[in-house]
Amino acid sequence: METEFKFRIPPERLKAVEAALRRGAVETTRLQARYYDTAEGALAAGAVALRLRKEGRRWVQTAKAAGAGPVQRLEHNAELGSGAAPALPDLSRHAGTPVGERLAEVLARAGGAPLVQTYGTDVRRLTRIVRHAGATVELALDLGRIAAPDPAGGPARTAPICELELELLRGPVSGLAALAAQWAQRHGLWLSTVSKAERGERLMHGDPPAAPAKAAPPDFAHGDAPDGAAVQRAVVAACLAQILPNASEVAEGGEDAEVVHQLRIGIRRLRVALRDLAALAPGFDPAWEAPLVEAFRALGAQRDRDLVLAEARAELQAAGAPAIDLPPPAEAPPRAADVVRAPALQATLVALVGFAASPAAADADGQPVQDAEAALAHLQQRLRRLRRQVLRDGARFESLDDEARHRVRKRLKRLRYLAEFAAPLFGARRTGRFLDALRPAQDALGVYNDAVVARDLFAEAVPHDARAWYALGWLDARRGVLARRAHRALERIADAPAFWKGRG
C-alpha cells in the first residue's frame, strides 16, 4: 500500500518548483514505461494498471489498483534486473499480494483475454527525501510525456507530464499532509486524481472528458459497529471521493456543467458532515469551512447566470414574453478552474484527505471519541430533529418568506445527506424508502429556488429594459404555483418511514 499526494504544476511555476526541490540532495532518473491491458480494456475498467518500467538500467514490473482512500493505492513492484525487457509482464510475480489478487480477478472476468501493450511514458524524475513533522517523504518531480497509438494509424498521440508527487515512506500521514499543503500553497499547485495510466487511457480514446463523479455511501469497516471517529473518517472519505475527481477535472480547465454541479453537491455534503458529525470525535478544524463556502458560492454564481437564466428565458419565450436584454454582471464571476485552484481551497482539501487517512486521537482538547452506541444515538437524534423541523416548516411553507423557504430547502438537504451517510448502519433497503420520499420535495424546492434566483436576475434588468417587468410578473405568478407544489411535496414526507427508529 502506498500513500501519496499528486499535484499538477502550472507551467509558469515549474522553474520555481524545480528550484525548491533542488535545495537538497536530488537524484535524477529516466523512467521509460510500457503499459499493458487486454484489447477490450479490462484492466482500465477495473481500475488496475500493469506496467514494465525501465528505471535507469534496471527493469521493474508494477501492478497498481485503487486503495481504501483518496491517497492510498495498492501497489506491488517486482525487480527484473537489467538487460532486455521481457515481451510481456509475468503475472505470477504479483501472486499472493492484494493487488495481485485484484489483477487476477479482473482478468478472470475478462475470460483470460491476452495482454497487449497499450501506451507508454518517458519521464525524467527528480527525487529528494524530506523529513517533516515526523514523516519521511519522497518528493518526485516528473517531467516528460505520454504517448499512445492513434487507432486510425496516424502519428502517435502525446500529452505532457508535469507533476509533483509526495509519497509517504515512513511516519504519520499528518506529516505528509502538512508538507503537501505547504508545497500546494507556496507554488499554486492543485491536487490531481488522474494517474498516468488513466491519462494514457484517455489519450488512447481521443482524450474524452471524464464522467462526473457522483455521491456514494460511506464505506464503514466490516465487523464491529464504528465509533464516532470511524464514522467521521468514513463519511469525509466518501465526500472526498466525489469532490476530488470533479475538482481535478475542473482545475484542468474542464467546464462540463454536470461536473461542476457534482462538485458543488460534494462540497455541500462535506459541509453537512462537518456540521452534523463534529460532536462524534475531535479533529474537525473550523478553518476548513470558509474555503469550502467560498468555492461553493463562486461555482454557484456561474450556474445561476448560465443554467437558471437559460431555463427561465426558455419558459418565458414559451409563454409569449418579449425578448429581454439583461445587463452584464457588475463583476464577472471567476472561472471555475481558478475557483478550484485557489490555494486556500487546495490546502483545505489536502488537510481533509490527511484527516480521513489518519488514525483518530483518543482524546483531544477534552473531547473524547464517542463509542459506537453513542455515535449511533447522535445520528438518530440529528435525523429526528431535522425531520421534525422540515415537517413543521413544510406545513406552513406558503406563509413563509423566501429566506425562510430557503432555510427549509437547506434543512431538507441536510436531512437527505445525513440519511445517506447513515444508510450503511441501518440497512440500505429501509433507508432507501425514506430517501425516495424526500426526493420529490427536494426537486420541488429546487425548482422554486431557481424561480426566485431568476426573478432576482431579471429585477436587475428593469432599469435597463422595461420589458423585464413582464418577466417579474410572470415569475411572481409562477412562484405561487411552485410554492403550493412544494408545500404538498413536503407534507408527504410525514408518510416516509423513519428508518432510524428501533435502533440503539
d(CA 323, CA 435): 40
Least Cα distance to 500 among 395, 369, 385, 391 occurs for 385
Cell of 434: 425514506
pLDDT at 405: 95
pLDDT at 366: 67
Q: How many CB atoms lie within 10 A of CB 53?
A: 20
Out of 51-60, 132-141, 151-160, 337-346, least confident range: 151-160
Cβ-count burial 340-374 (b if 16+ within 10 Å, e if not) = bbbbebbbbbbbbbbbbbbebeeeeeebebbebeb
**Taking a C-beta distance cutoff of 8 angstroms, is the pair 9, 183 a contact?**
no
Per-residue pLDDT tens digits for 65-104: 987 777 778 999 999 988 888 889 999 999 999 999 999 9
Question: For residue 492, which amino acid is it?
Answer: R
Phi, psi of 205 (to 5 degrees): -105, 25
Which helix (H) or strand (E) covers residue 92, if one does?
A: none
**Residues with Cβ within 8 Å of residue 362, at least 6 apart in sequence:** 368, 369
Out of 113-122, 191-200, 467-476, least confident range: 467-476
Question: For residue 228, which amino acid is it?
Answer: G
Task: For 416-435, give the secondary structure using H, E and C.
Answer: HHHHHHHHHHHCHHHHHHHH
Q: Which of 77-86, 213-222, 248-257, 364-373 has the highest mean pLDDT?
A: 248-257
pLDDT at 420: 94
Out of 200-209, 270-279, 396-405, least confident range: 200-209
* pTM (predicted TM-score): 0.90
Q: How many CB atoms lie within 10 A of CB 338?
A: 12
**Residues with Cβ within 8 Å of residue 275, at least 6 apart in sequence:** 414
**Taking a C-beta distance cutoff of 8 angstroms, is the pair 89, 100 a contact?**
no
d(CA 201, CA 175): 33
d(CA 137, CA 140): 10
d(CA 243, CA 237): 10
Residue with cell 502506498: 2
pLDDT at 352: 97
Per-residue pLDDT tens digits for 120-146: 999 999 999 999 999 999 999 999 999
d(CA 375, CA 500): 13
Domains of the chain, by residue range, sit at 2-204, 269-495
Q: How confident is the model at residue 504 (pLDDT cuts 50, 70, 90)?
A: very low
Q: Fill in the DSSP letter of residue 84.
A: S
CATH 2.40.50.140 for domain 269-495: no
Per-residue pLDDT tens digits for 416-471: 999 999 999 887 777 888 999 899 999 999 999 998 888 888 888 888 888 888 88
Higher pLDDT, 348 or 73: 348
Cell of 140: 518526485
Per-residue pLDDT tens digits for 197-221: 889 989 988 888 889 999 999 988 7
Catalogue the E-assigned strands of 133-277: 135-148, 157-170, 190-191
**Taking a C-beta distance cutoff of 8 angstroms, is the pair 213, 264 a contact?**
no
Residue 256 reports pLDDT greater than 80: yes
Q: How confident is the model at residue 223 (pLDDT cuts 50, 70, 90)?
A: low
d(CA 251, CA 145): 20
Residue 339 reports pLDDT greater than 90: yes
The alpha carbon of 504 is separated from its chain's Cα centroid by a whole number of angstroms, namely 32
Phi, psi of 167 (to 5 degrees): -110, 135
pLDDT at 328: 74
Q: How many CB atoms lie within 10 A of CB 184?
A: 23
CA geometry: angle 2, 6, 11, nearest 5 deg: 155
Work out the widest C-alpha separation in the chain, in whole angstroms.
Answer: 80
Residue 325 reports pLDDT greater than 80: no
**Residues with Cβ within 8 Å of residue 23, at least 6 apart in sequence:** none
d(CA 349, CA 343): 10
Q: Write the burial class of residue 323 (CB in 10 Å: 0-12 exposed, 13-18 middle, 19+ buried).
A: exposed
pLDDT at 496: 84
d(CA 402, CA 480): 11
Mean pLDDT score, 170-175: 94
Residue 267 reports pLDDT greater than 60: yes
Region for 266 from its dihedrals, namely left if φ exceeds 0, alpha if ψ lies in -120 to 50, beta otherwise? alpha
| CA distances from residue 253 to 158, 166, 335 in whole angstroms, order as listed | 18, 23, 9
Per-residue pLDDT tens digits for 16-32: 999 999 999 999 999 99
Q: How confident is the model at residue 349 (pLDDT cuts 50, 70, 90)?
A: very high
Residue with cell 438518530: 380
Q: Give the CATH fold of the 2-204 domain.
A: Hypothetical Protein Pfu-838710-001 (2.40.320)
Residue 165 reports pLDDT greater than 90: yes
Catalogue the E-assigned strands of 238-306: none
pLDDT at 222: 63
CA count, 13 A, side-chain hemisphere, 340: 28
pLDDT at 363: 60
The average confidence (pLDDT) of the chain is 91
